[in-house]
Amino acid sequence: MAKDFSGCHVPLITPFKEDLALDEPGLRELVNHFIEVEKVDGLVPCGTTGESPTLTNEEHDRVIEVVVKETDGRVPVIAGTGSNSTQEAIIRTKHAESVGADASLQVAPYYNKPTQEGMIAHFEAIAAATNLPIIIYNIPSRSGQNIEPRTIIDLAKIDNIIGVKDAAGDLNQTMALLNALGLDGKGFYLLSGEDAMTFSIMCLGGHGTISAVANVIGREFTEMCAAVKNGRIEEAKRIHYEMLPLVKALFIETNPVPVKEALGMMGLPSGPPRLPLVPLKAEHRAMLAEVLRRAGRLPKD
């Protein structure tokens, strides 16, 4: 039976020990926390929020193995296996497939700035090398290149390219994609990658989110997605506006630094970020703590 990739998926942080070694017990604890306590719809290891650029290849593979094994089929696991090297992306994706991941998240090739034709060739080559469902990740603010709607429309014709994580921050582009892809019956998923826009994107026809903020308020994001999906728009709108101050606070510095800080405050495994990311500034830490208290995620003083 085909997996359902709608709803709220958490791009997991990668918890580190104080010496910056991978914290495997902490990672297992997070998996169970998000499934059993926050009740999210899916997990995404080794994405941007998981500090994938500073993981070794061995660590990258190990994180995916641990998450897949600990999840044990309870929710879908979408493994971040993208790279700006097509061959490297294929290697990481084949590994994820071999250990039982349910899908692959493939970021737009960054730094080397391919043309739209180059991006099509990149994703085609990865799709041809695996049977895993592939979700394209469009994040121009980090990759330096926008995957244009016409490119995504062409890629959607490939059987195992089943969706896009849309972090372009352009509702006009999102609407163009939904209009072109949402009416043809193919079941192509459009997942929000902009947390402040998830409510709007879902009301326009999007199918869910891969949400960095859901590391901290996963239950609320999951409830909002379910409310929109089931036509309870006023309920979803209320949740959206209640969450908005925390959404803004969790991006006061580069993701995932505030998210890791928040999880640590909440008593969950996180640890420091790896360089070149540095810990949250003291003034931002105090502000974040206050927003977390107001959101009910920390006890009142």
Q: What is the pLDDT of residues 19-30, one digit of tens each?
A: 999 999 999 999
Q: Could you list the active site residues?
A: 137, 165
Residue 68 one-letter amino acid: V
- Output the pTM of the full model: 0.97
pLDDT at 301: 67
Q: Please give the pLDDT value at position 184.
A: 47
Q: For the chain, which domains are there?
A: 7-240 (3.20.20.70)
Q: How many residues does the chain have?
A: 301
Residues of the chain with pLDDT under 70: 1, 182-186, 301
**CB-based contact 110:143 (threshold 8 Å):** yes
How deeply is 117 buried, as exposed, middle or buried, from its count of CB atoms within 10 A (0-12, 13-18, 19+)?
Answer: exposed
**For position 207, what pLDDT does the model report?**
96
pLDDT tens-digit readout, 99-148: 999 999 999 999 999 999 999 999 999 999 999 999 999 999 999 999 99
Dist. CA 155–CA 218, nearest whole Å: 30
What pLDDT, on the 0 to 100 scale, is given for residue 272? 98
pLDDT at 1: 61
Distance of CA 35 to the CA centre of its chain: 15
Which of helix, strand or coil describes residue 32?
A: helix
